[in-house]
Amino acid sequence: MYVDEHGDDTSTTPEADSGNDELTVEMDGESYEVEENEDFDRDGHNDTAVVETEDGYIAFADTDGDGTADVAVEFDQDGNVVAGAEYDEASGEWVEEDVKSLPTPSGDGADEGDSGRDRQASDTDDKNDRETDDRDSGTITVDTPNGEVTAGEAEYDTDGDGVKDTAIVTDDDGTTYAFTDTDHDGTADTAVVIEADGDVTVAENTGGDDWKVVEEGHLNPDGTYESDSRPTGGTDASSDELWADAK
């Protein structure tokens, strides 16, 4: 193969005329600058340089956004695929590959530059964020008038933010307690108490071992919740009766 530095621009569509960029092609120890003049993925940005050769054409593309061609496909005069190759930076040679296995160009080709690498960095950051979000609040403790008690490990994510924030425990009498650590500091901020008969009490921590009841209700026979009242300003929830079994 050889590169004709004066290869004709074969683009004929307005899409192909937009975003022309210089693409570096390394060939036989020489560097050539060719113009991206074709839009392979039809996104309105040229990403492929088609240059004329003695026997037909070669399409060069920069698939990793570093400004240097890393993929080449050779065509004969009739447009039939003759061969495919991938550039090996380590050896500085083009290595013949099955055309079907070659990566394809996308975006704005060589003009992607740092943005291509930025996308990779962004993808890595997103992965790290997902891994971080898969954490939990750990063990949740509850400050009660009877002293600090341990509710257990956070096992449920009640607000859908990817962080497990709620521990649920049930005592011997069938009363269920759901303690939620909304700010992920390890201490419960809200508590939902569901008694065996279906009565429900919702309380919020107002500091230390002080709690206020903010809502009361009950579970219907079909399991749905129905609010009975929403106390204005909240009522005191520091009685031993509410926390009797939360020990």
Domain residue ranges of the chain, discontinuous segments joined by +: 14-130, 139-241
Q: Is the model's pLDDT at 173 over the cut of 60?
A: yes
pLDDT on residue 42: 81
Task: Read off the tokens for 237.
Answer: 């929830």
Q: Is the model's pLDDT at 234 over the cut of 80?
A: no
Inter-residue contact 3 to 35 (CB < 8 Å)? no
Going by pLDDT thresholds of 50, 70 and 90, the confidence category of residue 60 is very high
Q: List CB contacts of 44: < 8 A, sequence separation 6 or more.
A: 15, 18, 19
pLDDT on residue 70: 93
More confidently predicted of 70 and 230? 70
Name the percent of the chain lying above pLDDT 70.
72
Q: Is the model's pLDDT at 97 over the cut of 50?
A: yes
pLDDT on residue 19: 45
Q: Which residue has the tokens 């992965």?
A: 127
pLDDT on residue 159: 84
Amino acid at 181: D
Per-residue pLDDT of 197-216, as tens digits, reads 989 999 999 998 899 999 99
pTM of the model: 0.43
Range 95-104 average pLDDT: 89
pLDDT on residue 109: 52
Longest dimension (CA), the chain: 93
Per-residue pLDDT of 9-54, as tens digits, reads 433 333 334 445 788 999 888 999 999 988 887 888 888 999 998 8
Of the candidates 205, 193, 199, the residue with the CA atom closest to the CA atom of residue 244: 193
pLDDT averaged over every residue in the chain: 78
